[in-house]
Structure 1
Amino acid sequence: MQDPSLFNTQEVLDLLKLEQIGADCYRGQSHFMGSPNVFGGQVVGQSLYAAGITVPERRVHSLHSMFLLAGNFRLPIDYEVERVRDGGSFSTRRVVASQEGRRIFVMSASFQQEEEGLSHQKAAPASSDPETIASNIEEWKRLPPNPKRPFMPTPVDFRADFQGDILSGNDGKTTRQIWTRAPVALPDDRLMHESLFGYVSDYGLLWTALQPHGIRVGDPRLQIASLDHTIWFHRAFRMDEWLLFAMETPNASGGRGLCFGHVYNRQGALVASMAQEGLIRLRDKKS
């Protein structure tokens, strides 16, 4: 049995559920993630939840977001949803997240009425059975304390299909594969599973761009931050079942890194794809 102190699943689920404070206006709380800044995945997940509340009869199929300013985890975040369009099959929503009147994040999301259609997918890569891989969360907690990257509980388990720990990554490589699953059974609320996916999608995707350079998360020279984040949802999934995040970085230049991810269930079905560009700046410690 895994140590329950490793995970904060219920805390994150409670964070994703927003308080309605007006017509299409919602408020969310934040939590400490080892930094005074709000975790980017939290804002993605809460924004998706806010948008999804206004389209209960349709499922999200894509979201496109930009991080404008760092959020303060000590302050609540207000989410204003604009109902851009409701068509015969698709609905479009725009979400603006603000703190103290300042916009920190914007997202556009598209929702579709469920329908059948042509189907093909990129094949799942070869991977190890997640049940045979040690939990990286357990390994992370055993590492010597690092004030730059302290151990924090996570809402899901991570199991890396490569040698090395989850913070250093697959050094020298442009790819990484990580299995993930919530450690407890979750309610049958599809929007909650999708919002939790949005939260989790910001874990480690951008870290892939550090691997070719042998840079470890927590390096005192490193400044890293999400700039934009896109998710396409292809097929239904559950966050309490194993999902394989197959990630790659095709480019880093100009102080930015670009990363892509394809996410598969245990049966090999492609359930989602992701793209993220972020700041990966190395600074001289003396400056």
Structure 2
Amino acid sequence: MLDKTLYDTEEVVRLLHLEPLGDNRFRGQSHFMGSPNVFGGQVLGQSLRAATQTVNDRRPHSMHAMFLLPGNFRKPIDYEVERVRDGGSFSTRRVVALQEGRRIFVMSASFQAPEEGLTHQKTIPAAIDPDDLPSSLPDWKARADSGRRPFMPVPVDFRVPHRGDLFTSHAAEPRKEVWVRAPIALEDDPRLHEALFAYVSDYGLLSTSLQPHGIRLGDAGLQIASLDHTIWFHRPFRMDAWLRFEMESPNASGGRGLCIGYAYDREGQLVATLAQEGLIRMREPRSI
């Protein structure tokens, strides 16, 4: 039986099913993630789902998003899709997310009809079998229960094949590896798996840029926020099968951190590449 204290998979799947409003407009609901602001992954997933609702027989191969303003989790978000172009092989869509009439997020996505072509990929070393690794979630929940930040359920299991975890606090190289998989079987609709991937892609990626500095999420004085987010989809995948994320941060400067991620399936196929730049600003804690 699914442990509702650890997972919110069914709730997130419901969030990724949008209400059609007509005229290429859709509405998505929000949920609480420990902050009054909407979780960035939610907007990524919902915007991609909105765009795919306007495209037939083509799968997304890239999405490029920019976060403009924080959203309020207590209010729904409306997504307006512009059908920029439908060509012989590719379709382009632009999505604007609005809340109370304000633009909080914009995204462009490109879709391609199935096509054969040259193939190669970045390879990775052999990995520990995720079934031989413990879930990180019970430990995260135990630490949260004894601290000041509440544990928020997640839609996928996380398993980390080394000491530390997805949100490490000790100084380390700006690299991390994690296996993820939804704990329940999901419907076969590829649009759901792509949207859930976009949702999950916002977990832990930006925090990779904090590792060389021994800083963790929630530390006093840390201001962190996503600025932009890109995903390139390479090969089909399922979110209810194990995916291995390899993440690194090649640069931090000017109050920003850049992070790159590679997602592989269990057979070692590179299924997606992602990149995110975010604000990572340290401020002196206010005296009380």
AA of the residue aligned to 2:274: M
Confirm or deny: 8 A CA contact 1:161 1:176 kept in the other structure. no
- Aligned-pair CA distance for 1:170: 7.0
1:27 aligns with 2:27: yes
AA of the residue aligned to 2:238: R
Residue aligning to 2:285 = 285
Q: Per-residue CA shift, 1:25-57, capped at 9, x if unaligned?
A: 000000000000000000000000000010031
TM-score by length of structure 2 reads: 0.96
Q: State how many pairs are aligned.
A: 286
For the structure 1 residues 50 and 2, does the alpha-carbon distance in structure 2 shift closer, same or farther, using more than 3 Å as the test?
Answer: closer
Q: Per-residue CA shift, 1:115-151, capped at 9, x if unaligned?
A: 111000000233221111111111101114333x421
Whole-angstrom CA distance in 1 between matches of 2:38 and 2:144: 24
Whole-angstrom CA distance in 2 between matches of 1:180 and 1:79: 28
Gaps of at least 5 residues in structure 1 are none
Residue aligning to 1:248 = 248
Residue aligning to 1:191 = 191
- Matched residue of 1:111: which SS? strand
AA of the residue aligned to 1:286: R
User: Segments of 4+ in structure 1 off by > 2 A?
Assistant: 1-5, 124-127, 144-147
Whole-angstrom CA distance in 2 between matches of 1:159 and 1:208: 16
Q: Per-residue CA shift, 1:197-229, capped at 9, x if unaligned?
A: 000000000010011111011112211110000
- Matched residue of 1:6: which SS? coil
Whole-angstrom CA distance in 2 between matches of 1:280 and 1:229: 15
Confirm or deny: 8 A CA contact 1:170 1:176 kept in the other structure. no
Confirm or deny: 8 A CA contact 1:94 1:108 kept in the other structure. yes
For the structure 1 residues 170 and 261, does the alpha-carbon distance in structure 2 shift closer, same or farther, using more than 3 Å as the test?
Answer: farther
Whole-angstrom CA distance in 2 between matches of 1:83 and 1:3: 41
1:50 aligns with 2:46: no
RMSD between aligned residues: 1.3
Confirm or deny: 8 A CA contact 2:4 2:153 kept in the other structure. no
Whole-angstrom CA distance in 2 between matches of 1:4 and 1:76: 24
- Aligned-pair CA distance for 1:282: 1.0
Where does 1:105-116 land on structure 2 (aligned, <5 Å)? 105-116=105-116
Confirm or deny: 8 A CA contact 1:124 1:270 kept in the other structure. no
Gaps of at least 5 residues in structure 2 are none
Residue aligning to 1:257 = 257
Confirm or deny: 8 A CA contact 1:169 1:176 kept in the other structure. no
Whole-angstrom CA distance in 2 between matches of 1:2 and 1:46: 24
Residue aligning to 2:103 = 103
- Matched residue of 1:5: which SS? coil
Whole-angstrom CA distance in 2 between matches of 1:189 and 1:144: 34
Residue aligning to 1:228 = 228
